[in-house]
Structure 1
Amino acid sequence: MDIKVLGTGCVNCKTTIALIDQIAKEKGVTVKLEKVEELRDIIGYGVMSTPGVVVNGKVVHAGGVPSRDKIAQWFTP
């Protein structure tokens, strides 16, 4: 599973990365977690408020730290 966290490095972005990593490990899901900090790349996804999350090429979240429940849903088939 390929996950990108879009953001310039703010506290919310770091919290989002940590939460995704933690929940993926809890669920036993292998993820490739990437941080995208370049503003033009973030805008390229159509995300105007960060953090944004892209799962397998699809934007699934933008603006604020996603809830644990929301993150867990990304790992449910």
Structure 2
Amino acid sequence: MVTIQILGTGCQKCTELANNAEQAATKLGLEYSLEKITDLNQIVTFGCMTTPGLVINGQLVSQGKLLKAEQVQSLLKK
């Protein structure tokens, strides 16, 4: 199972990134869990200084960018 975490305070970009991540995981047929982390102290523990952040299996793979579903897909394939 793939663990996807969205780091952000709940802004529009964070919501869109969550939707794009769900689309990407579904399109790849992955079994996944998606968690939205809004607590700033938790966000900083991942090393994320700019939201939205994307964490896959505990590793910060993107920050400060609204990735498209296709971009998230390529990160999930790694």
Do these two structures clear the TM 0.5 threshold for a shared fold by scoring above it?
yes
TM-score between the two structures when normalised by the length of structure 1:
0.92
Aligned residue pairs: how many?
77
Distance across 1 between alignment mates of 2:76 and 2:53: 17
Aligned-partner Cα distance in 2 for 1:50–1:40: 13
Alpha-carbon separation, structure 2, partners of 1:76 and 1:19 = 15
* Residue 21 of structure 2 is aligned to residue 20 of structure 1: yes
Deviations 1:6-29 (A, max 9, x none): 000000000000011011111111
1:1-77 paired onto structure 2 within 5 Å: 1-77=2-78
Deviation at 1:30, TM superposition (A): 1.3
Q: Does 23-32 or 64-73 show the bigger shift?
A: 64-73
Q: Supply the AA of the counterpart residue of 2:65.
A: G
- Percent identity between the two aligned chains: 32
Tell me which moved more, 60-69 or 17-26.
60-69
Gaps of 5+ in 1: none
Post-superposition CA distance 1:8-62 (Å, at most 9, x none): 0000000000011011111111111000000000011111110001111110000
Give the alignment's TM-score, normalised by structure 2: 0.91
CA RMSD of aligned residues (A): 1.1
